[in-house]
Amino acid sequence: MKVEVTRRLASLCVRIPTLAFFMFFAGCQIAPSDPGKIERIRNSKDLPQLALTPQAFVVKGGNSLNLHYRATPLVSELRSVDLYFAENGDDFIFLASLITGEADYSWSVPSAIDRNTARFRLKAVNQVGNKSEIVSDPIAIDSSAPVVSLTSLNGGQTLISGVDQLLTWTATDPHLPASPIDLEYSTDSGSSWTLVNGGSSIANSGSFIWTAPATFSTHYRVRVRATDSVGNTAQSASSSDFIVQSIGAAPVATLNSASISNSLSATITTASCSAGGAWASILVTESTTLPTAGQSGWAPCVTTAGAYSISLGGTGTRSIRVYGKTSGGAVSGGYATLTVIVDQTNPNVSLTSLTGGGTYAGGSAQNVTWTATDANISGTPIKLEVSSNSGTSWTTISGATALANSGSFSYTLPSVNSSTYRVRVTATDDAGNSASSASASEFSIDSSAPTITSVTPPTDGTYLENEHLDFTVNFSEAVDVSGTRLALTIGSATRYATYQSGTGSNAVVYRYTTVSADTDTDGILVASPLQLNSGTIKDLVGNAVNPLTFSTPTTTGILVGYQPFTASWPFTAGTTASYTFDSTKIDFSGGVCRLTPSDQLDDDNACSGFGDGMTSNCGGSYSGAQWDSSL
């Protein structure tokens, strides 16, 4: 009974064809006589477990495709996992060996393939030799751009701004998405493109209503662009330009002549016969009435500079209109407006300095000043000129050819001696009208330096303390003096006579006041040159004295301080002699009276009672005839 149960259990275990076999195998009591059969059964069910999923079923050639796979053992470990690819879905070629487990593999899609039948095969072998393989669903490899063709507005048309136009096209591709179309337009013959309003990512319907833009151009083009689901793009554009023109379009015109002028005529240039519209004829007029196609005055459209001229109706601000006419006779609804100011009035100009009568130093900088007014004056309207011959001829002052109307210019006078100079200011307004204002009379230029002609010293005599030594320096012309001094030698000391008076004249006084220490018994000295000592001596127009040297005057009779004094008077023996002294020249204080007779009886007798204008006695007696007294 026990043996039969064991046989039945063993038979049951053998018949389990699923994973349950392995789950229950350990509990099955297999007869020792059947081990080979059981091993064969187990091995035949131990297969690798596989899964393969491409992440996209339409892919662009040249891109990457991600393949998600799973390769795991059932029982026995896997020995190899390999990936294969078949472009036609049947003839597989080896791609790569993969790792066991669940992972992703990135495949670089060949760029030269266009197939809808490509497949992948995943194959695995385990350690007991059992094999499993699976094949993916077909994928499409798309390396080709859509086929697209623009079928309207291919060039040469003239559209009206704001009017609807039908854009048409064809676009085919096996993998077009729902909205593969983009519509664009260009105003510069295709150099740059702008998306059509509402024309981005639209359905491949084959037509679209486009409202012509407001911007005028003769270089419009349109383009249709199709993009398939994997990013392949193709486009088709107008083969040549077409025109979009406004109903109120006008020619583009510019003034060839000046916008401010003193002329009653003007010339005009049209930039292009297709600028602003497609124009066959041009009309230039001051009339405010819309012209007709048949009226006189129309001229063929040309782009030559100044090709059109007009006679203006007067001065002031003039408004010119430029109309265009198409070859079909349609007159532009708009017009180019040009403005010209006709000014035939001269500026009001007045010279306000160097107007005449003055004398100025040669080489000095003088401000030329003026006023200049006009309704149309700007920029650099001023020119300054100088005449050296009382206005007979004029020369432009250097650097003053075209000046701003600032009212002032620094002019360096030439280093000449002349009394016939004049200056002139000329103002030219923006219209070309000119006016001038010149010196009313001549002014003089003095370039000669004043000189010292002589120096007059003080009167000869003896000068005591606090007395003035005045020296008069004489010049060749009147001078202005600031500072300066004369160097003197008194005794052995250097003293200076400084400016006292005389500026504005040709005789200038320099003064030295003596002090108690000054003593000179043989005449003072005056030194040349006159010293500036940081001062100046210039004539009345600013020319500096040159040279400062002079001929020194005779000054031997000019003494300074108390001088030795000798007086003689008759003396009769047996009498008293007397003498009167001048105290302004003699210092009597503490003096000694030296009496020197022929035969000296007494000497160095004290002098007492000496004073200004007084008669004083020197004591002593002598029988001689005369006494000499020295103080």
The residue ranges of every structural domain in the chain are 2-45, 49-142, 147-245, 253-342, 348-446, 452-560, 564-631
CATH for 348-446, options being 2.60.40.10, 3.40.50.10330, 1.10.1740.110, 1.10.10.10: 2.60.40.10
- Measured in residues, the chain has a length of 631
- The string of pLDDT tens digits covering residues 414-439 is 999 999 999 999 999 999 999 999 99
Decide if 615 contacts 582 (C-beta within 8 A).
no
Number of CB atoms found within 10 A of residue 291's CB: 18
**How would residue 266 be classed by pLDDT, with cut points 50, 70 and 90?**
very high
Q: What is the pLDDT of residue 574?
A: 54
* Residue 61 near residue 141 (C-beta atoms within 8 A): yes
User: CATH topology of 49-142 equal to that of 147-245?
Assistant: yes
pLDDT of residue 32: 46
Q: Which residues contact 124 (CB under 8 A, 6 or more apart)?
A: 48, 50, 71, 78, 80, 81, 82, 131, 132, 133
Mean pLDDT of 470-485: 96
Which CATH code for domain 452-560?
2.60.40
Mean pLDDT of the chain: 85
The per-residue pLDDT for range 172-198, each reduced to its tens digit, is: 999 999 999 999 999 999 999 999 999
Res. 593: pLDDT tops 60: no
Q: Which amino acid is at 24?
A: F
CB 126, CB 48: distance < 8 Å: yes
pLDDT at 589: 43
Dihedral sign computed on CA atoms, order 35, 37, 41, 44: positive
Least confident window among 41-45, 160-164, 418-422: 41-45
Given 3.30.1360.180, 2.40.40.20, 1.20.1250.20, 2.60.40.1930, which CATH number is that of 49-142?
A: 2.60.40.1930
Residue 302 to residue 102: CA distance in whole angstroms? 78
Of the ranges 394-403, 438-447, 578-587, 600-609, which one carries the lowest mean pLDDT score? 600-609
Would you identify the CATH topology of the domain 253-342? Answer: Immunoglobulin-like (2.60.40)
Q: Check residue 247 and give its pLDDT.
A: 64
pLDDT in tens, 517-540: 999 999 999 999 999 999 999 999
Q: For the chain, what is the total number of helices (H) and then of strands (E)?
A: 3, 50
Residue 127, phi-psi category: left (phi > 0), alpha (psi -120 to 50), beta (remainder):
alpha
Tokens 């040469």 map to which residue? 156
Angle at 30 between CA 28 and CA 33, to 5 degrees: 175
On the question of a cis peptide bond just before residue 54, with omega within 30 degrees of 0, the verdict is: no
Q: Give the homologous superfamily in CATH for domain 147-245.
A: Immunoglobulins (2.60.40.10)
Q: From CA 487, how far away is CA 532, in angstroms rounded?
A: 11
Q: Whose structure tokens read 């100046």?
A: 536
Contacts for 527 with CB less than 8 Å, ≥ 6 apart: 486, 487, 488, 489, 552
Angle between helix 2-15 and 35-45 (nearest 10): 20
Instruction: Note the pLDDT of residue 47.
Output: 96
pTM over cut 0.75: no
Among 137-146, 322-331, 369-378, the range scoring the smallest mean pLDDT is 322-331
Tokens standing for residue 490 = 């008194």
User: What's the mean pLDDT in 322-326?
Assistant: 89
Specify the long-range contacts of residues 163-168, CB closer than 8 Å, at least 24 apart. Answer: 163/211, 163/212, 164/209, 164/210, 164/211, 164/212, 165/209, 165/210, 165/211, 165/212, 166/207, 166/208, 166/209, 166/210, 167/196, 167/207, 167/208, 167/209, 167/210, 167/222, 167/224, 168/206, 168/207, 168/208
Residue 159: the pLDDT is 78
Instruction: Tell me the pLDDT band of 218, cut-offs 50, 70 and 90.
Output: confident
Percent with pLDDT over 70 in the chain: 82
Question: Highest-confidence range of 109-123, 313-327, 379-393, by mean pLDDT?
Answer: 379-393
For 267, the token pair is: 């010339």
Between β-strands 253-255 and 265-270, what pairing exists: parallel, antiparallel or unpaired?
A: antiparallel
Instruction: Give residue-wise pLDDT tens across range 496-509.
Output: 999 999 999 999 99
Write the CA distances from 534 to 184, 481, 484, integer angstroms.
86, 11, 7
Q: Which residue has the higher pLDDT, 249 or 467?
A: 467
